Amino acid sequence: MTTTNTIENSEHPIIKHNNLDVESQRTQEATEVTFDYAKRAQWLRAALLGANDGLLSTASIMMGVGAVSEDVKTMILSGIATLLGGACSMAIGEFVSVYSQYDIEMSQIKREMKNGLSNADQIEEKKSDLPSPTKAAVASATAFALGAMVPLLAAAFIRNYRVRLAVVVAVVSLTLIGFGSLSAILGRAPLVKSTLRILIGGWVAMAVTFGSTKAVGSTGLIST
């Protein structure tokens, strides 16, 4: 509560606020806002990571296949297979991981109920705050699929081999810049540093996959 001191000065009273209490209240409000922001950002960052995983996994596989085959159909099919397999893998992995967390927290709640450490209202509140394995799995798979759609759409309508590869790299690079910027904003990290980190990482992933597959294809083990 802010205290005030009244000073009589001729006809008009002057009210002087206690600056210390005001600053304390502002600090408390700022802390609450920061806490709420960080809590919401956890889900956004998880979705961003899933989309980034889908983007890079699919783009790298498509670049690898493109290194040994100029056929657009083969490249697109490899991307679709990566999208489906990756989305299922992400969903299953997230479901198992979150369900393990759910089981641990439920066991703790049951112990508290047994020992009378929490009342009924507190128990129900804790149960309502438990993560949903199904929702987490669906969110993870959806984020991966959305990221994977970017290189697929970029390559789907381009017949020329070299132009197709260049467009995929360009579109993926622009998307990585967007992801890096969002990650920096959500994590309150340096914008340029975060963006360059994710962009260079994406370039390395695509280059390694393309170069390694090209090297294997040049040995004659794979016919183009």
Q: Give the model confidence (pLDDT) of 137-150 as tens digits.
A: 898 899 999 999 99
**Is there a domain that residue 86 lies in?**
yes
Integer Cα distance of 49 and 169 in angstroms: 19
**Is there a domain that residue 200 lies in?**
yes
**Is there a domain that residue 87 lies in?**
yes
Integer Cα distance of 90 and 24 in angstroms: 45
How high is the mean pLDDT of the chain? Answer: 80
**Is there a domain that residue 224 lies in?**
no
* Residue pLDDT, tens place only, 149-190: 999 999 998 989 999 999 999 999 999 999 888 878 877 778
Least reliable range by pLDDT among 93-97, 110-114, 119-123, 210-214: 119-123
Do 155 and 168 form a contact (C-beta atoms < 8 A)? yes
Alpha helices in 69-132 (DSSP H): 72-115, 120-128
Q: Would you give the DSSP letter of residue 70?
A: -
Integer Cα distance of 224 and 189 in angstroms: 45
Write down the pLDDT at residue 133: 85
What is the extent of the structural domain holding 159? 37-211
Q: Would you give the DSSP letter of residue 5?
A: E
**What contacts 117, CB < 8 A, 6 or more positions away?**
111
Could you tell me what percent of the chain has a pLDDT over 70?
Answer: 78
The dihedral sign for the CA sequence 142, 190, 171, 211? negative
**Is there a domain that residue 1 lies in?**
no
**Is there a domain that residue 171 lies in?**
yes
**Is there a domain that residue 20 lies in?**
no
Q: How many domains does the chain have?
A: 1
**Is there a domain that residue 222 lies in?**
no
Q: Which residue has the higher pLDDT, 179 or 22?
A: 179
